Amino acid sequence: MNPGEIATALKRLAPTLRPGGGEIRDLARLSGGASLETWAFAVGEPGHETRMILRRRDDQVRDGGIFSTSNPLATEASLLNLAARQDVPVAGVIHVCESDDGLGEAYIVTAIAGETRGRKIVADETFAAARQLLAAQCGQILARIHAIPPAAAPVAVSDAATELSRYEAIYRRMNLKRPILELGFRMLSRRAPLCASPVVVHGDFRNGNLMVQRERGVAAVLDWELSHLGDPAEDLGWLCVNSWRFGAPDLPVGGFGDYETLLDAYAAESGHRIDLERVLFWQAVGSLKWAVMTQMMVAAGRAGEDGALERLMIGRRTSEAELDLIVLLESLA
C-alpha cells in the first residue's frame, strides 16, 4: 500500500481510534523489514492530536527464511496486552485491524517517545544516566516477560535443539562452507540443554529493540514477532551478543552493563537465578544465528532486493560474528 491508501484507510478508522475521530496528520514510514512496515501518524487537530503507530505486514511480501515463522500481528497485539498485565513497559494496543479496515494484517498502538538507535544509546552523553539503569531494568523486565502465563500465550514452543536445527537448515539451503559455523552447529547441538518448563520468550530482546528515554531508561519493549515458548536463558543470552553492544564490547549486556547486574536483577524479580554458563551457551547460539542472518543479507543484496547496499554492508559482519562465536565456544569447551 502507498501512503495515500494508508491515509485513506486510517481516516475511515479515525472514530474507532480516538473519540470524535479527526484528521490524519504527519503520516510517515519509520522502518521496513522483509515483510513488516511501521508507520507513525497523528489523529486530531494540532495541539490536540493523539500520536499512534501502525504496524502492518506487506501483503505482497513474505520472507521465506528466518522470519517465515514470525507471529501473526494479531498474536503480537495479544502478547503486548499480556505483557502489560505483568507490568512490562509496552505500547498500549489501540486497535487490531480487521479485513474491513482496509489495512491488511495490522494493529495500532500508542506512540511512545524515546530512542531506539543502539549506538546512540551506548555512546551519547545525553543517555549517560539511562545507561546506569538499563542492565538492571533489562533483568527485571525479562523476568516479568517470562512470568506471562504460558497457557495464555498463543505461540509455539522452540527449545535450543529446535532453534539450532532451524538455523542450520537455512545455512544448508544457502550452500555455505564456513568452517567456524560448521563447528558451531556441531558443538552447540551436542550441548543443547533441555527446557523442562518453557516460558514466554521475547525472541529478539536486545539493544535496538528497546525504546529508551534519557532519564527513565526503558520506556517500551518493541518487536514481538519472534516470541515463542522456550528457555528463559535464550533472551538473556541474545541481549549479550556482541553485535548488540554497538562499539562497547567491554560491557556485555547491550553495551551498557555487566552480567552480574543483569542476573542479579533477574533473580530479585523472578525468585530464581539463571546460571551464567547457560546464558553463555545461548549467547553463543545468538552469535551463530546472527552469522547466518548476515549471510542471508548477502544473498538478498546480491539478488537486488530493496535496500541491497545496506544488506550487503551488514553481510560484511559475518567474520565479526564468527570471531565472537570462536571465543564463546572456547569458554564453553
Domain ranges across the chain: 3-110, 118-332
Contact 321, 181 (CB under 8 A): no
- Cα–Cα dist 291/319, whole Å: 8
**Span 3-110 CATH architecture:** 2-Layer Sandwich (3.30)
What CATH fold (topology level) applies to the domain 118-332? Aminoglycoside 3'-phosphotransferase; Chain: A, domain 2 (3.90.1200)
Within 10 A of 107 (CB to CB), how many other CB atoms are there?
21
Closest CA to 95 of 10, 28, 222: 10
Give the largest Cα separation in the chain, rounded. Answer: 63
Q: Which residues sit opposite 41 in a β-bridge? A: 52
Please report, in tens digits, the pLDDT of each residue of the chain (333 residues total).
899 999 999 999 999 999 988 999 999 998 655 568 999 999 998 888 999 999 998 765 444 444 456 899 999 999 999 999 999 999 999 999 999 999 999 999 999 999 999 999 999 999 999 999 999 999 999 999 999 999 999 999 999 999 999 999 999 999 989 999 999 999 999 999 999 899 999 999 999 999 999 999 999 999 999 999 999 999 999 999 999 999 999 999 999 999 999 999 999 999 999 999 999 999 999 999 999 999 988 887 777 766 667 777 787 889 999 999 999 999 998
6, amino acid identity: I
- CA atoms of 287 and 283, how far apart (whole Å): 6
